[in-house]
Amino acid sequence: MAAAVVRPAGPDDAPQIARFIRELARYERLEDQLDLDEARLRGHLAGPRPACSALLAEADGGPVGFALFFASYSTFRTQPCLYLEDLFVLPEWRGRGIGLALLRAVAAEAVARGCPRLDWSVLDWNAPAIGFYQRQGARLLADWRICRLEGEALRRIAAG
């Protein structure tokens, strides 16, 4: 079995990334929240200022995982940072270092951009992912909670 190769993904990889996003939503039991549009994703991966960047991991002639990230900003550091939105490896390919290769590649991108940190979220029930991240030196920020406005609540507050 060949080792995985991690490469930058481009707009033409949108269908494969969309497939992985569907698989991730299924794994996280969040399919009801999925509003996936490949054309939108393609556009967000393209152009002079893409909204996000992605990496694909390939092994045995095909894609086996991906990571999607975007720029964020730390006011306390007054520096740009990276936010890892998704990291996913097909179940049959887990435990082979592919997730680690993807995480390392995103971390290397953060270092190359001069970012002081890389952030991401993990579901509290996802013990395998939490353990994996902690083994890599990540710490879970127990004092912080994610807040989200969406749908009607977002429109209501925007309207004043």
Determine which one of 27, 73, 83, 133 is catalytic.
Answer: 133
The Cα–Cα gap between 147 and 62 comes to 37
- Is 27 catalytic? The answer is no
How do 118-120 and 79-89 pair as beta strands?
A: parallel
* 134 token code pair: 């902690």
The Cα–Cα gap between 90 and 2 comes to 16
Find the domain containing 13 and state its range.
Answer: 5-159
pLDDT in the model for residue 2: 63
Q: pTM of the prediction?
A: 0.93
Taking only the tens place, the pLDDT of each residue in 34-57 is 999 999 999 999 989 999 999 999
pLDDT in the model for residue 3: 81
The count of structural domains within the chain is 1
The Cα–Cα gap between 74 and 65 comes to 28
Give the domain CATH number at 13: 3.40.630.30
The Cα–Cα gap between 138 and 159 comes to 39
Residues near 110 by beta carbon (within 8 Å), at least 6 away in sequence = 81, 82, 117, 118
Taking only the tens place, the pLDDT of each residue in 23-33 is 999 999 999 99
Contact by Cβ (8 Å): 135, 36: no
* Torsion angle in degrees (nearest 10) through CA of 96, 99, 101, 106: 180
